[in-house]
Structure 1
Amino acid sequence: MSLELTINAEIKAAMLGKKEADLRALRAIKAAILLAKTAEGGNGEITEAEESKILQKLAKQRRDSLDIFRQQNREDLAVKEEEELVVIERFLPKQMDEAELRAALSQIITSVGAASPADMGKVMGVATKQLAGKADGKAISAMVKELLK
């Protein structure tokens, strides 16, 4: 079942269950998918990779907003963002934990032949492609910096 069909089914369930937070997040996902499908130059269909990118973008937006709201002591808004983030993360592929990420990056560093922080660009290019959807860009970057010290 495609993500769009799954989201539509989840929206119906959230409406029936009167789950307002779930409904907000699911509608945001549906809107993002529709925008991607109708984007100029698009053929009306999106791939699983594009769906994953959309979900990651929505999750990142929620995380960033959550940080800002917490810094500004707006706990009422932070709670809403956190609720939506939980729903969005249900549809994302499982993220790598720190040990898995370290192992994958160590392997990439050896295959690229990186030895110093100056080689970070080479490593990041390969890592972001290989680990797309499995790890956050900030986490990859921080780990690569640590491993290339």
Structure 2
Amino acid sequence: MADYYRYLWSTTWPNLIVLFLIYGVILSRLGWKFFRTWRYARDAWGFLLWLAKVSIWVGILGVYTELFLFSQPDWFHKPGIIQGSVQGKSFDSGSSSYVVDIRSGVQQTQFYVDSYVYEQLNVDDHVKLMYLPARREVVRCELLGDLL
């Protein structure tokens, strides 16, 4: 599991840092406004205005969070694990990515790997993969001995 989240962090850290900065700025501003309203304007109108601002900013934070979850859905999924044999290898020039076809039982699925793993794998190798379920990028690849 640590490999899974380490890989996710390495691929999405800029997005996460920006999201945390947005949260930090907005929540600190709302806290400061609450403190100033509490200290200087202890009337119901000031707190109602503060509540209106909170509701607007909560909506904005919700939109930013939803955009992050839309672009990086693997953060809230368990890693996928598959064991099978390599049926084919190819290079997709359109997306500049290496693709391997893995057959597990009757199901054949394509996964994206890096160039090092691509070079190490051969057709008919038996492998166990840990991968991101939404993007199908391989996080960890283990070569298994002959299963026969």
Query: Normalising to structure 1: TM-score of the pair?
Result: 0.25
**Which structure's residues are more often strand, by fraction?**
2
- Of structures 1 and 2, the larger Rg is shown by 2
- Normalised by the size of structure 2, how large is the TM-score? 0.25
Pick the structure with more helix per residue. Answer: 1
